[in-house]
Structure 1
Amino acid sequence: MATSVARMLTVVLVSMMLTPHVHAESAVELDEIVKLAPIDLGIEGGAIDPLGEKVIVYGAESYLNLLDASDPTIRTDLVWSDELQSQWINLHAGDFHPGGQTALIVGDSGEVLRYAMSDHSVTDAGGDLEFGNVDLHSVAWNPGGSWAYVGGSDGWLWRMRAAAEGDAEVHLIEGRGSSDITAIDCHTSKILCVVTSVTDGIGVIDRDHTLYWIGGTVYPWQDVHCPQVDVGQCVAVSDDRNIGVIELNSDFPGLSIITITQLTGAEGVFTGISGQNDDRSIVSVAPFALLEHDLSDDKTFPWLENTDVEDFDASIAGQRVVSTWPIDRDSGWILTDRGTLIQYHPPSQSIPGILGVWILIAIPAVTALVILSVGLSFSPSLQNWFTQKFGTAEESRMAKREARRKRRR
């Protein structure tokens, strides 16, 4: 009987240790919240510099702000040129030059702005005559930084660079489609750029500025990201939950291949994609959620669930994610359309207080009870003593009677 009692206590304590006390759906948890303003800013996105140290945030009514990537509470005032002070243009995309000292930001009505890191000035980059009143939605520098590609509504696509007297040299890209150019990104080692559109599919631009459409037509592609690692691939997302992996062919760009996979188990609308670490990308989803896509595994995983965002702060769960950027392998910041920044990082590895106390108590207790159970099994006298001390009243009387009987022998 004593052995049974000890074993029962052991089973109870082990069961308590194995009972799940905390259940988290997301791979990361949210932490600090930073608000750029108390009002809805209509943010469209953020461009991070090549060193990952600064982020330029852009949006409605010519909103521009330069943030420290690790601590977005640290901001830098931008100096606007006089001719831009009275203009209120919605800005849609931005990209830093590979050298990291300047950035281009594009917006409605053919507006292209130039930001200079040296004095934090914002000036008109030119090209007004060529761009006209076309709403510009995307911009990306080629790997060498010699030209920037600019995409707009109705399939308009150009290359541009600075010219004399603050103007720009602009050339139309031949073979453009007819639907909006939604995003452009370039692959450093392959020296190719990838273009996404609403219905014309995905295109590849080579070093000679020739555009090749490689497929994926009809899919409403929203964004593309080319990880700066030597895997030779880029990843595009469509708003109807499709992931397109583009295998770049630097020798014959027109033979680049796109493989499309629909994530049938995912929910929501895919709105964008950003780099995280190495060949890992973060897919933005509406309502507020994130997915992780790994090129090396060719798999997509849940990263941040909307239910966990609701539990964290219901007031931000309805906001739209417009950009993310990393500060470490699995940590970084999320930027929303209202101008809210939320820090994310892996779940804390520390054990919650009460659970930690239970484990500190339970592990020695289980060890002692296991030793006791084994000892009782091999020692009738120890078993009899244990029953007298810890058994029921009836068991104790029987154990004492048995002890007296043995002594009389």
Structure 2
Amino acid sequence: MDKIDSAIRYGRMIARHLQGELTPAEQEELQQWLGEDENNHKLLETFHDEEFVQSGLSTLHSIDKNEAWDKISRKLDLPISIRRRPGYRAYWWAAAILLVTLSAGGWFLLQQSVTTPGTQVSVTRTHSPAEILPGTDKATLTLSDGTTINLDSAQNGQLASQGAARILKHEDGSLVYKVSGKTGEEIIYNTVSTPRGGQYRLTLPDGSRVWLNAASEIRFPAVFASDERQVEIKGEVYFEVEKAFDKQKRKLPFIVQVNEMKVEVLGTHFNINAYADEVAAKTTLLEGSVKVLSGTSQHELVPGEQANVRPNESVKVLADVDVEEVMAWKDGLFNFSNADIHGIMRQVSRWYDVDVRYTAEVPARTFSGKIRRSANLTNVLMILEKSGIHFKVEGKNIVVSP
């Protein structure tokens, strides 16, 4: 029997055993398998632990099943033809059961590919009974006169008007600015902001589309000026900028102001991460071209490049950055590549609206892997505890210890 057939067979057998559905012959075969390796017996005992099973089932909802299958396929050294066979992919969980057995405590393989070689899974069951849920689509719109509108609870349809702009909430929950008639000369500003635990998307008056990550903000004119388009942001924002022209058919620049940094574009897709608690403001270009200016320093990016700007320093450019990692937040993922625990926990803090406290200096380890942002906080911490670092949830606080 090859590895994948064995995985599927014993995976099914364990499941049927737990439901009391094994035939006498199958029961005898299972007993023989249990006697072949002490770890096999330990695995079966683990699945009798109701708390373990419940947390495991909950975690399964948070993982990328295709990636899990690919990881398991590589671990089992399966041929490419088998890896791509649809029927086998449906039984990735069965293969994972065998992997748990083979790796003695490798339940982590079921969860994600956050890897720290040589460490032992240690899930501390001290989390708060009140589960902390992931963030959702929510934001606040502040009009020019200071009026605020809670966008996640607002009804669909027209919410307000600002000069020549009508502000609409679409059925998909996004905010859209529609400009009609004479725009006039007066520039009035609106602000959309997300709290910790929130994200939002909107369409600006020129048709450009914007996505806000948690704890972020964009300030913009309700109607853009005739000679330029300028916005200000905080936190992390992704832009898909529409090309625009003035009456003389000249291209109108689109300018993003972030503290002392300025990003100038015409029509392009890019992401800016400029949280105050991060070391540098990062502008990553996906399509088109942008110019990043800071003080007397400037640099024009090409797709795949990232400009890093630190206070009182010139622009530094990184080539061939992992765009998938940068844009993971927009795609509903945490994507870590050699990330330290402090950087990871800053993301966790923003998305789950929690504060993080460290009891001591944590080991200098890095993490790589993907976790769905739809996962509950407990599941994320279970995955991260693979490193040997421990977490305790106290209300809306996470205590991190070595």
TM-score normalized by structure 1? 0.29
Tell which structure's C-alpha radius of gyration is larger.
1
TM-score (norm 2): 0.29
